[in-house]
């Protein structure tokens, strides 16, 4: 119950008198002030006193006092009485003694504490009254809790020898209450009670009495209090072992050359983690005298053997030369036959362009697609039928068979004038004269309203030109080019990094009536909290502009992007040069790096080089390195690994360990090699790698066993265990076999699409109109997990066409048409209405 306000003046007088008598004592302990002549047993005594508390952030704290017997209790904070209205009072009576008891509570806010300036701390004390006098409680101090961000001293990386002591200092950030300190070893808590070799000093330093190999790790000092938890920069501690010689072996028997030998190994102990190799030689030879030391000359049998071996080698060499000459002549004859044949009537099958001969500069050779047995298209959508039947079922071709038992009728028709004109122009003019030849990073073709597809093999880069994207009556030469980052100036600012290849499609400025879809890989780990992703396009003046901020697309934009785990699909109605750029929003932003280890296929010298590549996890970067290593005569010696490289400004380190000193010697003069952070983060440098050079002790050495570590300081790391024979082990070579991506780089017309044209039109006609039962394009988008783009699809004349175009871009050439057919059939539309094409509709 609340105190009646009429009693306040009387009690205040008693309070002031009692307080003045006891004001000389400012100690924190409980102080009693009895009234002269009163019973001391009836003085208030506290059952609950206020205690020291901390204000965390902006939350007020609660102070509580309870006394018995007590007729009044009030708080006083920093010498001033707390207002009566700020007290919450509860009165009660003790059941055993019948004495009155009171409990009082107040709240103290951060603003009240911050009003106190200077060195004085904010404190509160409560005073209880009874008929026998007053009693003061202990003082409770209220402090604002905090923990600063920066450590006063952080641990530093160390390299120590085995059994040497390690001291890692740590002075935590300033804080109230003072921070508690704990240590992490590779993110695991260090518990001195479980490891007697480790202890933590009063100054929070971590001490390892005698370093062990297991103590090689990243150590992090962690400071925490009730406000926050702070982590220091991790310190990499490497415990190395210097090599030491084993005892000499016994002398060998005296040899034919009148010498004997003894050996020892650098294995007592062997060098570890970058420790020094043993100094001196591991083989000792001396002259010896013995009755068994007899010089013998080679007999006539040895001479005959050598002559025979030389004769066999000469015969094999001559046979190889004959085979090479025969092969070259056959190849020249085959090329001549192909170049002189004209098969331009194959229509819109996949095309491949062969350079023309010098005597016939206008001849273009187009190879037909022999992988399909469907009827050849010659310009019109309905080829001629040679049989008498007006209908037949196309079920023997891979373009139609996955859709099941639908019947397709093709109408008798002569080629349209537009398609005839296209074939005529293609066969009589050199449409590619302005485009460069011979580049493996380029594709080009001539297209009309039927559309098509361009691909740069083994790069993940393609351009899908949907039907009707090119206006009817127009014929365009279109190209697709992959640029090397060093050939294109792409300015990056701040924390920006290149996540994709730089790709051009053109020519710029051509009129498109539907968006084309540009597909390319990226190496980002996309998350809205860590990345801000932008699509950049180069303007005609050469400057780069942000044309799309991913996640903030508007349906009216000229560009749109479907971002997936390793690829992005860009809808655009304007051709040009594009790149995907990411800006890190936190240190959690990471790029995927692919780590590849290469070494020579054949080793003819004592030196053996292991090259460790650190490249973007994209198909185009992998293709470049594989082609480079083929020229260098390299082979893959370990399965590739993925490393997540964070925006932490820390470099990438590489080291080699556990090289058997009796067989190999490492020429690395330091404990590790390092690739600077910015060389990797900006994404514009190719072929980033480090080379570890080893030297064989003997030319007969062929077995190699060692470890290669690759890690980012305070980040992700990978370890490779190498164990193979350098002369005959090729088990990893097949892992990087470049696969063909759908054959030739240019596909024109219906052969460029998985979905047959007439069935595509039926699906569009059926699903574009809104349906109250939900059997329309919206449900199809949901079934294909594309419902996040509904607003973009709805802004286009045919939403269903956009969905099918995206499906084509994502699933060519290995898309499962049966799954798409099942998704369409599951919308409630009758199968016959979608997959049967009548003669009148052709």
Averaged pLDDT, groups of 10, the chain, 842 residues long: 39 40 44 66 89 90 93 91 91 86 92 74 91 89 90 91 92 92 93 93 93 92 92 91 89 80 87 85 78 47 70 86 79 41 30 38 33 31 34 30 32 37 39 46 92 93 95 93 86 84 92 94 86 90 89 78 92 94 88 94 89 94 90 90 90 92 87 88 84 91 92 89 87 65 75 89 88 79 84 88 92 82 74 45 41
CB 551 within 8 A of CB 649: no
The contacts of residue 716 (CB under 8 Å, 6+ apart) are 590, 643, 644, 645, 646
Taking the alpha carbons of 780, 784, 789, 795 in that order, is the dihedral positive or negative? negative
Q: What is the structure's pLDDT at 194?
A: 92
Taking the alpha carbons of 306, 311, 317, 320 in that order, is the dihedral positive or negative? negative
Domains belonging to the chain, first-starting first, are: 45-144 (2.60.40.10), 146-240 (2.60.40.10), 442-584 (2.60.220.30), 590-739 (2.60.40.10), 754-826 (1.10.533.10)
Q: What is the structure's pLDDT at 375?
A: 30
Q: What is the structure's pLDDT at 377?
A: 31
How does strand 559-563 pair with strand 567-572?
A: antiparallel
Q: What is the structure's pLDDT at 51?
A: 93
Total residues found in the chain within this entry: 842
Query: What backbone phi and psi angles, to 5 degrees, belong to 31?
Result: -125, 130
Give the H or E element holding residue 559: strand 559-563
Axis crossing angle, helix 799-811 with helix 757-767, rounded to the nearest 10: 140
Q: What is the structure's pLDDT at 830?
A: 52
Q: What is the structure's pLDDT at 610?
A: 94
pTM over 0.85: no
The contacts of residue 270 (CB under 8 Å, 6+ apart) are 241, 243, 658, 660, 661
Q: What is the structure's pLDDT at 721?
A: 92
Q: What is the structure's pLDDT at 365?
A: 32
Check residue 743 and give left, alpha or beta (phi > 0: left; psi -120 to 50: alpha).
left
The Cα–Cα gap between 128 and 6 comes to 18
Angle among Cα 314, 320, 321 to the nearest 5 degrees reads 95
The Cα–Cα gap between 532 and 550 comes to 8
């Amino acid at each position: 119950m609340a105190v009646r306000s009429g009693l306040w003046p009387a009690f205040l007088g008693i309070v002031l008198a009692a307080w003045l008598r006891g004001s000389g004592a400012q100690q924190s302990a409980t102080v009693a002030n009895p009234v002269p002549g009163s019973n001391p047993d009836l003085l208030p005594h506290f059952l609950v006193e206020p205690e020291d508390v901390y204000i965390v952030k902006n939350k007020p704290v609660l102070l509580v006092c309870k006394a018995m017997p007590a007729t009044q209790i009030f708080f006083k904070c920093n010498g001033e009485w707390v207002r009566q209205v700020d007290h919450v009072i509860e009165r009660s009576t003790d059941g055993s003694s019948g004495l009155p008891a009171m409990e009082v509570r107040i709240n103290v806010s951060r603003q009240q504490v911050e009003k106190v300036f200077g060195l004085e701390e904010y404190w509160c004390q409560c005073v209880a009254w009874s008929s026998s006098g007053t009693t003061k409680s202990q003082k409770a101090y209220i402090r604002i809790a905090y923990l600063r961000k920066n450590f006063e001293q952080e641990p530093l990386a160390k390299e120590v020898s085995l059994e040497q002591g390690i001291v890692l200092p740590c002075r935590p950030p300033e804080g109230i209450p003072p921070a508690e300190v704990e240590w992490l070893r590779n993110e695991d808590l260090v518990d001195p009670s479980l490891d007697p070799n480790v202890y933590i000093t009063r100054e929070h330093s971590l001490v390892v009495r005698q370093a062990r190999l297991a103590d090689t790790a990243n150590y992090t000092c962690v400071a925490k209090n009730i406000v926050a938890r702070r982590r220091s920069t991790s310190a990499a501690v490497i415990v190395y072992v210097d090599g030491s010689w084993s005892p000499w072996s016994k002398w060998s028997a005296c040899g034919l050359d009148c010498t004997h030998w003894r050996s020892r190994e650098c294995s007592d102990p062997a060098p570890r983690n970058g420790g020094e190799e043993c100094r001196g030689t591991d083989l000792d030879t001396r002259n010896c005298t013995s009755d068994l030391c007899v010089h013998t000359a080679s007999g006539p049998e040895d001479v005959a053997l050598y002559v025979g071996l030389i004769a066999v080698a000469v015969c094999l060499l001559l046979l190889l030369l004959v085979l090479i000459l025969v092969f070259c002549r056959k190849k020249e004859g085959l090329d001549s036959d192909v170049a002189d044949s004209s098969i331009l009537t194959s229509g819109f099958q996949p095309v491949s362009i062969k350079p023309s001969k010098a005597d016939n500069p206008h001849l273009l050779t187009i190879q037909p697609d022999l992988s399909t047995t469907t009827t050849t298209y010659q310009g019109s959508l309905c080829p001629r039928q040679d049989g008498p039947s007006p209908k037949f079922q196309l079920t023997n071709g891979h373009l139609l068979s996955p859709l099941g038992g639908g019947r397709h009728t093709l109408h008798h028709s002569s080629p349209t004038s537009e398609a005839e004109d296209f074939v005529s122009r293609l066969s009589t003019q050199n449409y590619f004269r302005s485009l460069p030849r011979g580049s493996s990073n380029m594709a080009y073709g001539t297209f009309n309203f039927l559309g098509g597809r361009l691909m740069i093999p083994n790069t993940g880069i393609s351009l899908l030109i949907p039907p009707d994207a090119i206006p009817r009556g127009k014929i365009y030469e279109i190209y697709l080019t992959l640029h090397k980052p060093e050939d294109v100036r792409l300015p990056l600012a701040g924390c920006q990094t290149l996540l994709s290849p730089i790709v051009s499609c053109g020519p710029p400025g051509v009129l498109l009536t539907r968006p084309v879809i540009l597909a390319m890989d990226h190496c980002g780990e996309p998350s809205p909290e860590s990345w801000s992703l932008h699509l950049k396009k180069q303007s005609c003046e050469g400057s780069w502009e942000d044309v799309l901020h991913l996640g903030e697309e508007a349906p009216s934009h000229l560009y749109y992007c479907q971002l997936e785990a390793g690829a992005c699909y860009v809808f655009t109605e304007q051709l040009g040069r594009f790149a995907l750029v990411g800006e890190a929003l936190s240190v959690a932003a990471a790029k995927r790096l692919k780590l590849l280890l290469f070494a020579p296929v054949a080793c003819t010298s004592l030196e053996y080089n292991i090259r460790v590549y650190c490249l973007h996890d994209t198909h185009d970067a992998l293709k470049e390195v594989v082609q480079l290593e083929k020229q260098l005569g390299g082979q893959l010696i370990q399965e590739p690994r993925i490393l997540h490289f964070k925006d932490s400004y820390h470099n990438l380190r590489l080291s080699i360990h556990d090289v058997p000193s009796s067989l190999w010697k490492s020429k690395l003069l330091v404990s590790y090699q390092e690739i600077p952070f910015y060389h990797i983060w900006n994404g514009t440098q190719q072929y980033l790698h480090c080379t570890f050079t080893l030297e064989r002790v003997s030319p007969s050495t062929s077995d190699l066993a060692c470890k290669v570590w690759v890690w980012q300081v305070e980040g992700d790391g990978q370890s490779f265990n190498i164990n193979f024979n350098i002369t005959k082990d090729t088990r990893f070579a097949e892992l990087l076999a470049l696969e063909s991506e759908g054959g030739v780089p240019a596909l024109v017309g219906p052969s460029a699409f998985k979905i047959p044209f007439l069935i595509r039109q039926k699906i569009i006609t059926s699903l574009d109109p809104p349906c109250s039962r939900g059997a329309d394009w919206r449900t199809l988008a949901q079934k294909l997990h594309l419902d996040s783009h509904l607003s973009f699809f709805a802004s286009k004349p045919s939403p269903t066409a956009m969905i099918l175009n995206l499906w084509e871009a994502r699933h060519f050439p290995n898309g499962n048409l049966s799954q798409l057919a099942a998704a369409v059939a599951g919308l409630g539309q009758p199968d016959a209405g979608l997959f049967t094409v009548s003669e009148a509709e052709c």
